[in-house]
Structure 1
Amino acid sequence: MSALTNPLNHANCIVSTYQKISQLPKLEITPEVMEMLHQFLGLLSNEHGSEFTDAVLAQQQIQAIKPRVQTLFSQASSIYERHWAYCISKSIDPVHTLEHEYPYFKHYQRATALEINAAHSLATEQINRVLMVGSGALPLTSLALHNAELAVDNLDIHQQDLLLGKEVCDALAPAHRMNFIHNDICKQDDLACYDVIWLAALVGDEKIKRNILHHLFDSMAAGSLLVIRTAYNLRTLLYPSVTESDLAGFQVKLKIQTFADNFHSILIAQKPYAES
């Protein structure tokens, strides 16, 4: 068995690379830091099978660093999104900057198209108004929903990211009519007006996510859909995974467990109609 296919060796590589990143004097967007992060993400590839993944995740050293890895990835993602949000919003040609310079543009195109088409296929009523929870500084999903002719509200608990996200939307779609709401989703009560709610992958840790799901179930309209970005396999080291068991009360309609890099996994659930 080669080092690349040995779970213990793979786990040691993950820990070693994580430690190098965590020991950096500052987490910032430089070629050197980005190279280390890309190397780290490569070790957590979606392309590994479940048996290998389970063996890696079972290693004691992996379990010991898991919470810290999720925190690090959340911080790195926020810094990366803010960097590109500034680049796009300040560009003399923001559309060109997004489509030809931002590395993950095609990923967002494909991922959001998959989610939007799936939601339309599963919805029992026409989809008109949607909410993006955790829209962030780079609300590319919101823009994709807007371009799909849906009425979009953006919600984020971080006001600075929300305002920066609005600048990005203003630059890329000046005529948009999207709303931007600064709030904790668990304190947002007017959720019954939405046909679909999107929940970003990096919204909250495992405990917070469970609280959010309970609040959404209590507040959403019967028949509305919930699109959840989640993770399986080694990607659970990057952000908390949501499984079917976390969706008590909801009816799970679709589960997409991806085995392609740069794609998050997806759960789509529906709040059931009351029994007559």
Structure 2
Amino acid sequence: MSRLLAWAGVSREKARDPPYSTIGRDREELLQELTDLRPSETTNTLFGDLVSQCCEIHDVNTVSQVLASCKLQAILPSLQSLCSQAESCLETHWASHIAQGQEPTEAQRLLETFPYYGNYEELTRLELCALRSAGLVHPQKIAFVGSGPLPLTPVCLLKALKEDALSGPVPPTKHQQGPTIINVDRDEEAVATATTLITRLGIPEEEMVHYCGSADSQSLSLSSCDVVYLAALVGVTQLEKEQIALSIAARMRPGALLVIRSSWGLRNCLYPEFDATTASLRSKLEVALVVHPYGKVVNSVIVTRVR
């Protein structure tokens, strides 16, 4: 029985927390212990244990009981905030580490040692299959909003599109260039770090460019994009994320796809779940499909089509 379930009161079994278990501690104790969220043995153990517990699969009734637990509800906003901060610290640390590679092959080797690199590759394949199911087979121009200092999804996405594992390589023609990805982030330091990383990986400027600014900035043109991704950490509340999604959709052409990352099940402890079916969203976006992972991938995928 999961310690998370036991602690939340779903089972009478007493939770046996290891020294660095995340769930079950008082909020104040957890916050005091995690004064430094940079990667370390303690931080890695804490969040590794949390992610492992939250990726467990249980029946709907059990999950509902855990998420409705008064104990969990009391710490959930702080817990999600901690996860967001820790993820940012993890990405910044690894981006700097990977950028130490002086040659693209060395930088790529370091990139592949990132603890969750395999998860991002799997999530990328899942999202590409979702896009194909929605009718978009070979996207040429993509924007990723909330790319951060370590734009792993854009890197994996570019690689997957160029190799096209599902239908074989599709070389650019005279009338059609290869895919281009725009990394969008409002943090200047994150953009600078990501730019250095992309250079170290040897990715040409025509294949990946960077935009520093807010997602709702009118200077960010999205009308030529086949698909826009909205990262899970962009927007804290449902309302904030909804407003950002509508602002983005307003600058996209009808028929283009907006991919919104969300969460489901116990993964809601890590990221807030997003409802793409509200009245305001339905007025501008049509939900094409929703995909929930059952393995180590954390994020759910919501594919919407601009009306």
Quick one: which amino acid aligns to residue 211 of structure 2? I
1:154-165 equivalences in 2 (<5 Å): 154-165=183-194
**Pairing partner for 2:294 from 251, 254, 259:** 259
Report the RMSD for the aligned CA atoms in angstroms.
Answer: 2.4
Distance 1:223-1:2 versus aligned 2 partners, 3 A rule: closer
Look up the match of 1:94.
Answer: 107
Look up the match of 2:93.
Answer: 83
Identity, % of aligned pairs? 28
1:186·1:215 contact (CA, 8 Å) conserved in 2? Answer: yes
Quick one: which amino acid aligns to residue 226 of structure 1? L
Q: Could you tell me how far apart the structure 2 residues matched to 1:133 and 1:172 are? A: 21
Look up the match of 1:268.
Answer: 303
Measure how far apart 1:244 and its partner are.
Answer: 3.2
Look up the match of 1:175.
Answer: 204
Look up the match of 2:226.
Answer: 195
Which SS does the other structure have where 2:240 is aligned? Answer: helix
Q: Does 1:166 align with 2:195?
A: yes
Look up the match of 1:223.
Answer: 255
2:141·2:225 contact (CA, 8 Å) conserved in 1? Answer: yes
Question: Which stretch has the larger CA shift, 177-186 or 141-150?
Answer: 141-150
Measure how far apart 1:97 and its partner are.
Answer: 1.0
Measure how far apart 1:217 and its partner are.
Answer: 2.6
Q: Could you tell me how far apart the structure 2 residues matched to 1:8 and 1:124 are? A: 42
Q: Could you tell me how far apart the structure 2 residues matched to 1:21 and 1:126 are? A: 45
Scaled by the length of structure 2, the TM-score of the pair is 0.81
1:1-276 equivalences in 2 (<5 Å): 5-6=5-6, 8-9=8-9, 14-16=23-25, 20-24=29-33, 25-92=35-102, 93-99=106-112, 101-123=113-135, 127-147=139-159, 148-149=161-162, 150-177=179-206, 178-188=208-218, 189-206=220-237, 207-246=239-278, 247-249=281-283, 250-272=285-307
Q: Could you tell me how far apart the structure 2 residues matched to 1:141 and 1:182 are? A: 17
Distance 1:174-1:197 versus aligned 2 partners, 3 A rule: closer
Residues 144-178 of structure 1 show CA distances to partners (whole Å, capped at 9, x for unaligned) of 23221421111001111111111111111343422
2:141·2:227 contact (CA, 8 Å) conserved in 1? Answer: yes
Quick one: which amino acid aligns to residue 217 of structure 1? A
Q: Could you tell me how far apart the structure 1 residues matched to 2:253 and 2:209 are? A: 20
1:200·1:228 contact (CA, 8 Å) conserved in 2? Answer: yes
Look up the match of 2:173.
Answer: none
Look up the match of 2:20.
Answer: none
Where do 5+ consecutive residues of structure 1 fail to align? none
Q: Could you tell me how far apart the structure 2 residues matched to 1:184 and 1:231 are? A: 23
Measure how far apart 1:124 and its partner are.
Answer: 5.6
Distance 1:60-1:120 versus aligned 2 partners, 3 A rule: same
Residues 3-50 of structure 1 show CA distances to partners (whole Å, capped at 9, x for unaligned) of 675463479872417655421232221112211111222232242332
2:119·2:296 contact (CA, 8 Å) conserved in 1? Answer: no
Which SS does the other structure have where 2:147 is aligned? Answer: coil
Residues 102-121 of structure 1 show CA distances to partners (whole Å, capped at 9, x for unaligned) of 11111111111221232134
- Whose helix fraction is larger, Structure 1's or Structure 2's? 1
2:10·2:65 contact (CA, 8 Å) conserved in 1? Answer: no
Distance 1:10-1:43 versus aligned 2 partners, 3 A rule: farther
Quick one: which amino acid aligns to residue 306 of structure 2? K
Quick one: which amino acid aligns to residue 61 of structure 1? K
Structure 1: 4+ residue segments shifted above 6 A: 1-4, 10-13
Which SS does the other structure have where 2:233 is aligned? Answer: coil
Which SS does the other structure have where 1:187 is aligned? Answer: coil
Aligned length: 271
Which SS does the other structure have where 1:192 is aligned? Answer: coil
Quick one: which amino acid aligns to residue 191 of structure 2? L
